[in-house]
């Protein structure tokens, strides 16, 4: 699909959206909704198909190596021009490997991310050397009568002078012309080193685009002698053995200032100026290195897709059995949701990574939540004796506020995660963000209009649903103190474990170091591996084993720059195991520290955003309860991981922030029902109204948690070793988040209100004065 067609299609959809929200006529609104859904689905399918040409795969799926390179400016401060030039220098070096579509992009002010897909693990060392070596800038004289001497050499009448060699100078093409090539006899030895250039820049002058350069004191003397002696000769500028330009020396130049003129385009002039600044004159530092073999990536994606499809199938069947006809509508909405989600990710050139797949799988569970809220409300309204049409309208009206508040708070955490995080965690945040938006659209437009059409046309006159979780009258708040003591005990146990384990709690992403994963077709004896590492003094390295798709894996974590020795030693010590390197990571301590800092900043900003939003929508005591519950869930999840001997990694940051999002989502639904109870004027104390509200949402809470856990459990059991820790964290977080929304968040609101001396009427007044979400979908 062309960009122009995409633009006009998007504009048309935007107009339809506006028309839909502006109209109040039932039939017209339904027709507009149907048209919108059909166009969006068609647009998404056209964007997705054929998948091989549209969906980009991350290195953790297709295999390859990623390097994060830092420019060491030395005496010079690294500027944008130097960074851009370094990107071009590195691109030329990567072309040496003949790989397709490498990603080479600046990161921040002084770093470059290099991703080489499909790079064989045997070539990693060679790639490392290519990227980290010094860029060599030289000035070399061209033979005085270059053309005539080359003609005689070609005719066999002359030989190449011993101090010269033939080089090919590829000139920049103008317009649609092919690049021109010129053979030059260039000196083998440099006449002047590039380290003598102090600065260079391009500007537009009387002779068009011009490049100016300035030499240091010694360079100025050498350049003056050369230009005096070789006036009228050509002087080749060579970077990494490739001629960048070959201007003519017009006059003797003293003082160290020189200009280069020619028929330069702006891009060519700026590029030459950047070459002359030579940002890679000093060695660069490879601060992070990650590689995954194509086989490990394919095994992981195959396992993830199987887990996702199984989780989707179980979810569809459970929803259909429990809600029957509304469940069929919810399943239709869920399938449309997935089509729209994948379409959006494809259109925005999303790179599909394993955490991204996990985000899509998590969306399966979260997208059902809105429908559960609506149908549980529908059940309540029908129980009051209302007609089906009125009950359905009321259910959507009342559920909208909960859906809006819960999804906006989750969206806040996803957006902050995208803003602060990097790499695969950012991919997870993107998939989660699009998933939330798609689920809102499908629940409130697709599901509503499909069910409304069946009811309004008289095709459905009665709806029956299973009701396995009936309304209870449990005194949850009365058990708040006991629950808090249990949580405190678990937090203390986790904190103690965290303190005892110390640095072992953190993976290489945070503390820096090396990681290497090797596979074997036979079961691996970890004790034998540890014995094999004794000769190189690394017997105490962390070693984990796992199995996936009939292969056995060991992962060894060791100090920085030791993975090559570890890999070599293990393969030599156990030759019969037929080890193959599947994955390796190398992260500098500086990068690890920055990751830890950015993760804490992301969590802090997420908490601040939620605090502001919940205070605005509810009341300060509710915001305090939500934040305490959120911190409770995150701390317990991290503590449980420490107790289980697991490590915190970059991907785990995504899991922890997802837990924060789920926790607040669940808490907001309970809060919304409490606010409704207070606003309704129902008699009773704050505690009685809160208990009643929690009991009313109990079925929704259990159903949503169960449906969310289904695909994540499938991911944990079938998704392979790569995503096992990630899915385990989500499972722990969902369980703890469900518990905290009932036993932690609400008691905090009650205790805070009592501490401030608020009566029921005072809290009722403060809550009801807050703005409620206006339902733009109301008919």
pLDDT tens digit string along 254-305?
888 888 776 677 777 777 776 666 555 555 778 888 887 766 667 777 777 7
Which of the residue ranges 87-96, 300-309, 639-648 would you say has the lowest mean pLDDT?
87-96
**Stretch 460-486: mean pLDDT, rounded?**
84
With a cut of 90, say whether residue 100 has pLDDT above it: no
Cβ neighbors of 247 (< 8 A, separation 6 or more) are: 234, 235, 237, 260, 261, 262
SS3 744: coil
**Stretch 326-336: mean pLDDT, rounded?**
90
With a cut of 90, say whether residue 722 has pLDDT above it: no
Task: Output the pLDDT for position 561.
Answer: 82
With a cut of 60, say whether residue 176 has pLDDT above it: no
With a cut of 70, say whether residue 98 has pLDDT above it: no
pLDDT > 70 in the chain, percent: 86
Pair 303, 85: CB distance under 8 Å: no
pLDDT band at residue 589 using 50, 70 and 90 as cut-offs: low
pLDDT band at residue 194 using 50, 70 and 90 as cut-offs: confident
Residue 353: Cβ within 10 Å count: 26
* Whether residue 50 has a cis bond before it, omega within 30° of 0: yes
User: Sheet containing 192-193: which strands, arranged edge to edge?
Assistant: 192-193, 137-141, 235-239, 242-245
Task: Output the pLDDT for position 487.
Answer: 93
pLDDT digits (tens, 9 = 90+) for 502-533: 888 887 777 778 888 888 888 888 888 888 88
Pair 296, 582: CB distance under 8 Å: yes
Average per-residue pLDDT in the chain? 80
pLDDT digits (tens, 9 = 90+) for 354-396: 677 767 777 777 778 888 888 888 988 898 888 888 998 888 8
Task: Output the pLDDT for position 145.
Answer: 85
With a cut of 80, say whether residue 349 has pLDDT above it: no
Q: What is the pTM of this model?
A: 0.73
With a cut of 70, say whether residue 492 has pLDDT above it: yes
Return d(Cα 3, Cα 625) in angstroms, integer: 47
Q: Name the more confident of 604 and 482.
A: 482
Task: Output the pLDDT for position 117.
Answer: 78
Q: Name the more confident of 627 and 407.
A: 627
Task: Output the pLDDT for position 774.
Answer: 55
Q: Name the more confident of 53 and 559.
A: 559
Q: Name the more confident of 523 and 177.
A: 523
**Stretch 200-221: mean pLDDT, rounded?**
83
Task: Output the pLDDT for position 500.
Answer: 93
| 470 to 62, 694, 698, 700: CA distances (angstroms) | 49, 13, 9, 11
Task: Output the pLDDT for position 716.
Answer: 85
pLDDT band at residue 74 using 50, 70 and 90 as cut-offs: low
Give 544's Cβ-side CA count (13 Å radius).
17
Task: Output the pLDDT for position 328.
Answer: 92
Q: Which contacts (CB < 8 Å, 24+ apart) does range 596-605 have?
A: 596/506, 596/510, 598/420, 598/421, 598/422, 599/420, 599/421, 599/653, 601/420, 602/416, 602/417, 602/419, 602/420, 602/421, 602/653, 602/657, 603/634, 603/656, 603/657, 603/660, 605/416, 605/419, 605/420
Cα angle at 751 between 749 and 757, to 5 degrees?
105
With a cut of 90, say whether residue 496 has pLDDT above it: yes
pLDDT > 90 in the chain, percent: 5
């Amino acid at each position: 699909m062309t960009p122009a067609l995409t633009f006009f299609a998007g504009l048309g959809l935007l107009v339809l959206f506006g028309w839909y929200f502006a109209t109040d006529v039932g039939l017209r609104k339904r027709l507009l909704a149907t048209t919108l859904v059909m166009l969006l689905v068609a647009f998404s399918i056209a964007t997705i198909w054929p998948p091989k040409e549209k969906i980009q795969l991350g290195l953790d799926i297709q295999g390859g190596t990623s390097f994060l390179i830092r420019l060491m400016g030395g005496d010079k401060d690294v500027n944008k021009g130097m960074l851009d030039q370094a990107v071009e220098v590195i691109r030329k070096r990567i072309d040496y490997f003949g790989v397709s579509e490498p990603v080479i992009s600046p990161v921040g002010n002084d770093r470059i991310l290099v991703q080489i897909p499909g790079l064989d693990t045997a070539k990693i060392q060679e790639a490392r050397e290519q990227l980290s070596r010094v860029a060599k800038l030289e000035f070399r004289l061209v033979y005085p009568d270059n053309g005539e001497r080359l003609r005689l050499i070609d005719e066999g009448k002359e030989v190449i002078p011993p101090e010269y060699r033939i080089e090919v100078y590829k000139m920049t093409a103008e317009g649609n012309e092919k690049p021109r090539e010129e053979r030059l006899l260039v000196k083998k030895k440099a006449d002047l080193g590039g380290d003598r250039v102090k600065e260079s820049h391009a500007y537009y002058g009387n002779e068009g685009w011009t490049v100016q350069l300035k030499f240091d004191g010694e360079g100025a003397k050498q350049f003056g002698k050369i230009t005096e002696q070789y006036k009228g000769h050509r002087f080749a500028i060579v970077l990494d053995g490739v001629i960048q330009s070959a201007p003519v020396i017009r006059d003797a130049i003293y003082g160290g200032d020189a200009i280069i003129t020619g028929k330069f385009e702006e891009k060519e002039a700026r590029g030459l100026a950047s070459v002359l600044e030579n940002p890679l004159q000093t060695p660069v530092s490879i601060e992070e290195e990650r590689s995954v073999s194509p086989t490990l990536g394919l095994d992981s994606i195959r396992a993830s897709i199987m887990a996702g499809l199984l989780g989707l199938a179980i979810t569809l069947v459970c929803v259909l059995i429990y809600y029957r006809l509304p469940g069929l509508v919810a399943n239709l909405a869920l399938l449309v949701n997935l089509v729209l989600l994948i379409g959006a990710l494809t259109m925005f050139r999303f790179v599909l990574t394993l955490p991204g797949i996990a985000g899509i799988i998590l969306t399966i569970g979260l997208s059902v939540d809105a429908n559960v809220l609506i149908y549980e409300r529908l059940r309540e309204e029908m129980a009051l004796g209302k007609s089906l049409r009125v009950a359905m309208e009321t259910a959507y009206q009342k559920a909208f506020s909960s859906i809006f508040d819960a999804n906006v708070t989750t969206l806040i955490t996803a957006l902050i995660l995208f803003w602060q995080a990097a790499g695969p965690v950012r991919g997870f945040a993107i998939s989660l963000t699009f998933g939330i938006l798609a689920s809102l659209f499908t629940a409130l437009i697709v599901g509503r209009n499909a069910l409304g059409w069946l009811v309004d046309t008289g095709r459905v006159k009665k709806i029956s649903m299973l009701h396995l979780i009936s309304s209870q009258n449990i005194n949850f708040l009365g058990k708040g103190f006991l629950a808090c003591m249990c949580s405190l005990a678990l937090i203390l146990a986790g904190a103690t474990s965290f303190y005892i384990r110390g640095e072992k709690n953190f993976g290489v992403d945070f503390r820096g170091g090396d990681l290497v994963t090797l596979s074997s077709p036979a079961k691996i004896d970890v004790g034998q591996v540890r014995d094999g590492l004794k000769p190189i003094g690394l017997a105490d390295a962390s070693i984990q084993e796992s199995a996936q798709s009939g292969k056995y894996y060991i992962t060894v974590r060791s100090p920085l720059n030791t993975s090559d020795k570890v890999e070599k030693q293990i393969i030599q010590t156990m030759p019969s195991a037929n080890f193959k390197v599947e994955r390796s990571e190398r992260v500098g301590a500086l990068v690890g520290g920055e990751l830890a800092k950015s993760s804490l900043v992301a969590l802090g900003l997420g908490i601040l955003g939620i605090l502001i939003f919940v205070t605005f929508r509810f009341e300060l005591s509710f915001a305090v309860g939500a934040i305490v519950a959120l911190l409770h869930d995150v701390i317990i999840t991290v503590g449980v991981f420490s107790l289980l001997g697991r490590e915190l990694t970059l991907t785990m940051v995504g899991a922890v922030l997802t837990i924060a999002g789920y926790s607040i989502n669940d808490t907001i639904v309970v809060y919304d029902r409490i606010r409704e109870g207070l606003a309704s004027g129902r008699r009773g104390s704050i505690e009685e109204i809160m208990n009643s509200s929690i009991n009313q949402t109990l079925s929704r809470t259990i159903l949503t948690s169960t449906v969310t856990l289904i695909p994540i459990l499938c991911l944990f059991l079938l998704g392979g070793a790569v995503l096992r820790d990630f899915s385990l964290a989500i499972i722990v977080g969902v369980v703890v988040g469900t518990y905290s929304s009932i036993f932690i968040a609400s008691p905090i609101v009650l205790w805070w209100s009592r501490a401030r001396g608020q009566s029921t009427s005072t809290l009722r007044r403060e809550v009801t004065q807050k703005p409620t979400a206006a339902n733009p979908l109301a008919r």
